[in-house]
A and B are shown apart, each in its own frame.
Chain A
Amino acid sequence: MFAKRTTLGILMMGLAAAAAAQIEPGGFARETAKDYRELARYPESSRVLKRGEEDPIRAKRLPTRQSMPGPDGSEPILSVWTAKISFEVGQPIDLFATLETRAKAVRPDSISGEIADASGAIVAQVTYKDDGQEADRTAGDGVWSARLAMPKGLEPSPAASYMVRVKARLADGDLRDGAGGFLYSRPSAHLTGRYRDLLRDGNLVVAAEVDVKEAGRFHLAGTLATAEGEPIGTAQSAAHLEPGRYWIELSYYGLMFHDRKAAGPYRLASLALSTTNVMPNAQNDLVENVHLTRAYRTGQMTERPFQEPRLLETAKRLELDADRAQGRTAPEQQ
């Protein structure tokens, strides 16, 4: 009897909770429009970052772990990752793996890996070790490592993705499988290490010189930070370039320095160059803290919102939809 009443009570509470939850008619379109009006303060090529937000360009280039449990979700879990997302031709490719139960390392009998291209063909094999040699930083710490040298003749043009199929044999003979990967890149341009900065139309322009070996489209993205390293905003640009030396400019929209109340000098915290418009894109190594600008004052920067017209138009249409949904405007008036 008590159980029945309890069940009924829980059911009624659940229904009451469900009934109380709501979505305001037109509210979805209106909130989206509000977001767009805020975003429209900046051009698409340059965005301000919120205080405390991590450097998004650096974050995109940081490798992450891919974890996979055993059958029926059982532990230990095999996690695999690489030293970088992309390796330029000629660089050693360091691969890592851990086997863990409840976040504690479990010692496997062995860990091995196969490197497969997009067609599934195996191009190399590796054996992971935990002996403190070569790629393995500390012996016996539970992080197993392997250093791969890609076979000659696989130089990509400009890049190729490889899958790393990892197999861990447990002490009891069970197997765990893991799947990772890396990008093998031969970028058509490199940063020369020369940078300069200037003000233009109230925006801060940071230019980086590139040396182009083969014609192509190149994308440059960079995060600007305070001198102390707190990220302020991002900028990106892209251009088709013929062989030679060029300056690629990143224009940081002036409003960001007012929004963040940040005066110069500014630090170019991270810079990512890629050869694009061919898949996969070839990535150069990320460079960090390579340039400090002059000590610009906030007053030298524009305070004017960019008012990106296409976003504002979309916002306007959504607001009309919201008005109609809330009965504020007759549908015929559209």
Chain B
Amino acid sequence: MRVRFLGVGVLACLSFLALAAAAGAQPCLIFVHGKQTNTNTFTNYNSARSYWVNGSNDFVRTATKNFAAYHYVVGYNGTRPYFEAQSAGEVANEIVNATNGGADGGGNRCRTTFAQGGTFWVIAHSMGGTLMDFVLGNNDPSDPNFNFTGPFDQVAQRVSMVITTGGAHRGSQGADAVCLQSNPFCSFIAIFIQSCDDATFWLRTSDDVQVRNVASAPARTVYLTGGYEAIFGASACLTGEDDGVVQYASIFACNGSATASYDNSNVCNNNSKQETTGFRNLDAAHENHSDERDASDTDVRKAIPGGIWTCGGVPCAPNTTVQSAMNTAQFVAILY
């Protein structure tokens, strides 16, 4: 009886150590949400956490392999322009807190701090991508807006990479349509873009508001994935493939016009990005802008030019179906 009890105890300890070791071998994932129409994610952790959840589907749980990897959920003011203290500044401060082993509003913390040798990957959705471009493009004293609203230099030093899903790197034609206030056919998802507020004004596709105008190339690589599942009504207002809110030219950080028409076969490769370095393609998913952040649509994934998937030892041809049922959270989970 005693032996059995000890055996169970040892097994439990070994299981715990194995889980801890496995988590230690993995990066800590830091989640940065997208545009908001109110300040809830900034003032209430539960709102920031809920951003990644849809019913029983949970992007954070899936991407962390059922919490085997540690995580931290950032909440910022998604109604403010991407460069402000409550947006970029808040995100930068929270990332530094995460890398110091501090807890997010829900008590989640990265197991290994930066000082202890930890690695940190940022997963950003929608406007979260624009914001990370600004932070990582202003980390050096030679950059135009060095440490403008936060410790961008520390973020760049500590973050290993960023993965953006549906990132609005070049703005959104959805924001254009909302700020035009004239096209009733563009019925965008209200939780993302409801009005031409300050954040929306700075997420338009016009050259003068682009993040590349006020930042240099990101100091750490920003990896790009995004959806091509249309949203009825909204997608008609976007050029080329899109996720119903953001068009491919922006999701994949293409140079040239932010409204150029692209699809899975011809979207800009890694040599034609908004900066000469720092942006790389991963793949595309049959998800819309909402699915991209809540793991609710386990669907087809496609290869894109310069993307990550290999077929028979060589890069898969663009538009090849590389997975028949995988959502973006599952995709993130196979990258580490």
Contacts and interface: CB of A to CB of B under 8 A. Distances in A.
Interface of A: 14-15, 17-18, 20-24, 28-29, 32, 35-36, 39, 44-45, 47, 49-50, 53, 56, 59-60, 63-69, 71-73, 77, 82, 85-86, 116, 118, 120, 161-165, 167, 175, 177-183, 219, 221, 234, 236-238, 274, 276-277, 279-281, 283, 310-311, 313-314, 317-318, 320-321, 324-325, 330-332, 334
B285 interface: no
Interface of B: 21-22, 24-27, 81, 83-84, 112, 117-119, 139-146, 148, 156-157, 160-161, 173, 176-177, 179-180, 182-183, 185, 196, 198, 201-202, 204-209, 212-214, 216-217, 219-221, 235-237, 239, 255-259, 271, 275-277, 280, 303, 308-312, 316, 320-324, 334-336
B255 A59 contact: yes
A71 B256 CA distance: 25
Given A39-B277, A45-B142, A71 B83 contact: no
A29 B258 CA distance: 30
A267 B306 CA distance: 33
Contacts of B177: 68, 177, 179
Contact of B157 (A69, A85, A310): A310
Q: Which of B140, B198, B280 has the most CB of A within 10 A?
A: B140
A238 B25 contact: no
B312 A20 contact: yes
A195 B6 CA distance: 79
A276 B145 CA distance: 6
A325 B196 contact: no
Interface of A is mostly: mixed
Contacts of B216: 44, 221, 236
Contacts of A179: 176-177, 179-180, 204-206
Q: Which of A63, A238, A281 has the most CB of B within 10 A?
A: A238
Contacts of A59: 255
Contacts of B157: 310, 313-314
Contact of A183 (B81, B208, B212): B208
Contact of A64 (B24, B235, B258): B258
A22 B259 contact: no
Nearest to B331: A23
A68 B208 contact: no
Contacts of B27: 321
Contacts of B139: 44
Given A161-B208, A163-B179, A236 B143 contact: yes
**10 shortest A-B CB distances, which residue pairs?**
A181-B206, A21-B322, A45-B142, A331-B25, A179-B176, A183-B208, A64-B257, A219-B144, A324-B25, A331-B21
